[in-house]
Amino acid sequence: MPREITGFSNETVKRVRSLRDKKHRRQEGLFLAEGLRILAEAEEAGFLPEMLFYARDSASHPIVTRLIAATEAAGGDVIETIPDILHKLSGKENPQAVIGVYRERATPLSAIDRASADIWLVAQAMRDPGNLGTMLRTGDAVGAGGLILIDDCVDPFSVEAVRASMGALFTQTIATARWAEFIAWLRTGPGTLVGTSLNASHDYQEPHYPRPTFILTGNEARGLPADYEADCDLLVKMPMLGKADSLNAAVATAVMAYEVLNQHRRG
């Protein structure tokens, strides 16, 4: 049966609220996800929360009822609470009806099966959680295998990144690596590394993209370092017909991913 927590000084509330901080997420190996849609997507992908908080007035919602039953059946901790505590946990003025606490699920490069997907996304020094979340959504949309984070990227398990991913965090493999480690791993098997760069001479629609294609996007402000560009099999750019000199990093990734997908669909 669910237990009830209504006090702000409760130790469980303090512990879960601390997961909004990266240091505590790393220590606990846990992260927060909020909202019916994201938690339902997680369940569909085979992931249930270790802890489930819900507002008592939402208990009759069919998705909440299902999540409560599934979490309890899996041995998770189910907690009925009040909207003010959900606000304290999420940091949002209008908190969602449910919040889940999940185990982090980063995958080592050595465990990635590159043959499992025709498209993989790679982000180097990505700093914006909204961009990272959007890239995860793009990866899910095009059937990518996952997102490989290179060097010092924003935490994919931050509340903001999880929120922006709209559940794609649970459908995409996530790996982290330094550049040298990634290149060494990539060259042990098939895979074409395609970087997006203003320095490229090829239009992004010119080349033929073999399977699997690894689409590399650099830092939002600086782009890719020159030596990283030199390690790519191919550099491409998108036409910029207005006054702006580049696209948003997540948008550029989406444009590239759909070009590769469309080529693969055409055979």
Strand pairing category for 77-81 and 51-55: parallel
β-pair partners for 77: 51
In the structure, what pLDDT confidence band is assigned to residue 30 with cuts at 50, 70 and 90? very high
User: What pLDDT is attached to residue 199?
Assistant: 87
Strand pairing category for 146-150 and 173-177: parallel
User: What pLDDT is attached to residue 240?
Assistant: 85
Asked which of 91-100, 103-112, 142-151, 209-218 is least confident by mean pLDDT, the reply is 91-100
Angle at which helix 36-44 crosses helix 62-73, to 10 degrees, equals 50
How far separated are the first and last CA of the chain, in Å rounded?
53
Q: How many residues does the chain have?
A: 267
- Concatenate the DSSP letters of all residues of 178-238 into one string: -HHHHHHHHTTS--EEEEE-TT--EETTSS--PSSEEEEE-BTTTBS-HHHHHH-SEEEE-
Q: Could you give the domains of the chain?
A: 3-103 (3.30.1330.30), 109-266 (3.40.1280.10)
Alpha-carbon span 66 to 143, nearest angstrom: 27
In the structure, what pLDDT confidence band is assigned to residue 56 with cuts at 50, 70 and 90? confident
For the segment 16-29, the average pLDDT, to the nearest whole number, is 96
Q: Which residues contact 4 (CB under 8 A, 6 or more apart)?
A: 79, 80, 81
For the segment 232-251, the average pLDDT, to the nearest whole number, is 91
Contact 171, 140 (CB under 8 A): yes
pTM: 0.94
Which residue, 239, 234, 232, 229, is CA-closest to 208? 234
pLDDT digits (tens, 9 = 90+) for 145-160: 999 999 999 999 999 9
pLDDT digits (tens, 9 = 90+) for 119-144: 999 999 999 999 999 999 999 999 99
In the structure, what pLDDT confidence band is assigned to residue 95 with cuts at 50, 70 and 90? low
